[in-house]
Amino acid sequence: MKSDKTKVKRRPDRGFYDKETVYAILDKEFICQIAFVFEGYPVVIPTIYGRKDDSLYFHGANVSRMLQTMEQGVPVSINVTRTNALVLARSAFHHSLNYESVTVFGKAKLVQDDADKLEALKIISDQILKNRWSEVRLPSEKELNVTKVLKMTISEGSAKIRNEGVGDDKEDYDLDIWAGLVPIHRSYGEAEPDDKLKSGIETPDSVKSIENEEF
């Protein structure tokens, strides 16, 4: 639902408030920017996340100031942004970007049960590279003990999307200046085996599924 907190005020026609749009953008990425207040001053920290249903999961070291602060139940704001094209206008003023952006709000709580922690870590792993979790050694008890996992239920959120061409002033269309879009493409390269990899070990399916693929 649209609220005063989530309402897109600049170009409201680009605002979206439905779960489908918000979650579709979240599911395209795996790095977010987390904003919170730490000891009276604002902090923004990039971190990996995973989404399942209405919740986002984060993990890190037990000593992480971000996770220690978030587990106290303080309000948190999270942003995820994809840039899809440079929009190059005839005037400097009308240059822009085509993008998809999401900002969500909520409070986080500590995931304490080991089985729940493992499930949350799998969700995060799948967000980055689907099915990699089943190909690797799972965390040991010692590794789980030094890892903090938080679950944040999304309480509010909105998306803002620009997917348009150039919007110059009418009088500028007569200028002899090039204008248009420059698409931004991202792709995975060919996998590079570790120097210490034992001979005979083939590239796993999870990696082969994304080699040279755009994302």
170: helix, coil or strand?
A: helix
Backbone angles phi, psi at 160, to 5 degrees: -135, 130
pLDDT (0 to 100) of residue 3:
86
Q: What is the CATH number of domain 12-169+177-208?
A: 2.30.110.10
Give 129's DSSP letter: S
**Position 40, amino acid:** G
H or E element: which one contains 27?
Answer: helix 19-28
Residue 49 has pLDDT above 80, yes or no: yes
Distance CA(165)–CA(98), nearest Å, equals 8
More confident residue, 114 or 3: 114
Reported as a single tens digit per residue, the pLDDT across 1-46 is 788 889 999 999 999 999 999 999 999 999 999 999 998 999 999 9
Q: Where are the domains of the chain?
A: 12-169+177-208
